[in-house]
Amino acid sequence: MIRVGVIGTGAMGQNHLRIYSEMEEVELAGISDIDQKRVEFMATQFKTKAFTNYKKMFLEGLDAVSVVVPTKLHKQVALDALDAGMQVLVEKPIADTIENAEMIIEAAKKAGKVLMIGHIERFNPAVIRLKEIINSGILGKIVSISTKRVGPYNPRIRDVGVILDLGVHDIDIISYLYGKKINSVYAIAGANIHSFEDHASIILRMDHNFAGVVETNWLTPHKVRQLTAIGVKGVAYLDYINQTVQLHDNEWIRKAKVEHSEPLKNELKYFIDCAATGKKPNPCGEDGKHALEVAMAAIRSYQEERLIEVGK
């Protein structure tokens, strides 16, 4: 039995609570939030203990913790959890700066603890199936992957712009599907309804002739989550929401078999397995750092109106 705590009871934190409470191999030992009324309500709902100070929750003998707080707080909370001997899942993005991400990664290595980053789309059944299809060679060499992740603005998101909130999902998935690091970024973006950017078009380059394109915004009145992978032998169209993958080639249009399931449930089950066995998770801290580096490079690119080399 793994004793787990959740820090943060916002929308995503509540989903972590719901899923952990349903897992037979998990004991939800506590939840923490600075909002006393909210955390006490959640504790009653999920039959666990409430804490307004997460360090006091650590005294409950936790094995693992989900860090589901605003991005700017990730570093301190994650460092405290690792220092207290916990296996740690940090929601994406890993941190608000590259330096803070590196501090979290180093702390996990020093403590010898699991550090997993919550890039949830890696656990979407459609993405898992498309990765298998790409690896099988059915589509031939993949030369371009483009994504569209758009929809209305959620007022709860105030500390980051659309690139770090939404675009980072597809930055990670494009790198994951190619199995390659992203080398350079060019982005066009702007702010209309938000203090940070609320729309962005991002071009990614891997090696010399592999491309990725991310379109994201908080301006579209309806939610769209789609990906297109173009290979020399065919094209795959993926819908994240409907969890479908359709393959087109010169002769056929085929629908891949995808077993539908909740991505977050898959992710947390995987995290608990890593926490129990100590195996290195995928995505790990370095994966989270790379996605953050690319997202930060995209932000620099639109601000400076030029191509940015990742990591430079």
Is a pLDDT exceeding 80 seen at residue 157?
no
Is a pLDDT exceeding 80 seen at residue 312?
no
- In this prediction, residue 106 carries a pLDDT of 98
- Band of pLDDT at residue 23, cut at 50, 70 and 90: very high
Q: CB of 195 within 8 A of CB of 127?
A: no
CATH code for 121-261+293-309? Answer: 3.30.360.10
- Band of pLDDT at residue 122, cut at 50, 70 and 90: very high
| pLDDT tens digits, 287-297 | 999 999 999 99
In angstroms, the CA 161 to CA 218 distance is 9
Do 2-119+265-282 and 121-261+293-309 fold alike per CATH? no
- Band of pLDDT at residue 154, cut at 50, 70 and 90: confident
- In this prediction, residue 156 carries a pLDDT of 76
Is a pLDDT exceeding 90 seen at residue 45?
yes
> What is the CATH architecture assignment of 2-119+265-282?
3-Layer(aba) Sandwich (3.40)
Amino acid at 52: T
In angstroms, the CA 99 to CA 42 distance is 34
- In this prediction, residue 274 carries a pLDDT of 97
Q: How far is CA 216 from CA 123, 141, 189, 197, in A?
A: 20, 26, 9, 10
- In this prediction, residue 155 carries a pLDDT of 81
- In this prediction, residue 71 carries a pLDDT of 92
| pLDDT tens digits, 191-213 | 998 889 999 999 999 987 899 99
Is a pLDDT exceeding 90 seen at residue 174?
yes
The mean pLDDT value for 235-244 works out to 98
Is a pLDDT exceeding 80 seen at residue 258?
yes
| pLDDT tens digits, 272-309 | 999 999 999 999 999 999 999 999 999 999 999 999 99
Q: Is the peptide bond before 155 cis (omega within 30 degrees of 0)?
A: no
Q: How far is CA 233 from CA 130, 144, 230, 239, in A?
A: 15, 12, 8, 20
| Helix, strand or coil, per DSSP, at residue 298 | helix
- In this prediction, residue 65 carries a pLDDT of 98
Residue of 125, 128, 84 whose CA lies nearest to 107: 84
Is a pLDDT exceeding 80 seen at residue 158?
no
- In this prediction, residue 217 carries a pLDDT of 97
Sheet hosting strand 87-91, strand order edge to edge: 50-51, 26-32, 2-7, 64-67, 87-91, 115-118
In angstroms, the CA 28 to CA 13 distance is 13
| pLDDT tens digits, 77-116 | 999 999 999 999 999 999 999 999 999 999 999 999 999 9
**Residues contacting 290, CB < 8 A, separation 6+:** 172, 175, 181, 182, 310
Q: Which two tokens stand for residue 120?
A: 């949830």
| Domain limits, the chain | 2-119+265-282, 121-261+293-309
- In this prediction, residue 262 carries a pLDDT of 98
Is a pLDDT exceeding 80 seen at residue 13?
yes
- In this prediction, residue 21 carries a pLDDT of 96
Q: How far is CA 42 from CA 49, 73, 207, in A?
A: 9, 21, 47
In angstroms, the CA 108 to CA 78 distance is 9
- In this prediction, residue 83 carries a pLDDT of 97
Q: CB of 126 within 8 A of CB of 239?
A: yes
The mean pLDDT value for 225-245 works out to 98
Q: Compute the C-alpha angle 8/98/299, nearest 5°.
A: 95
- In this prediction, residue 290 carries a pLDDT of 98
In angstroms, the CA 219 to CA 305 distance is 22
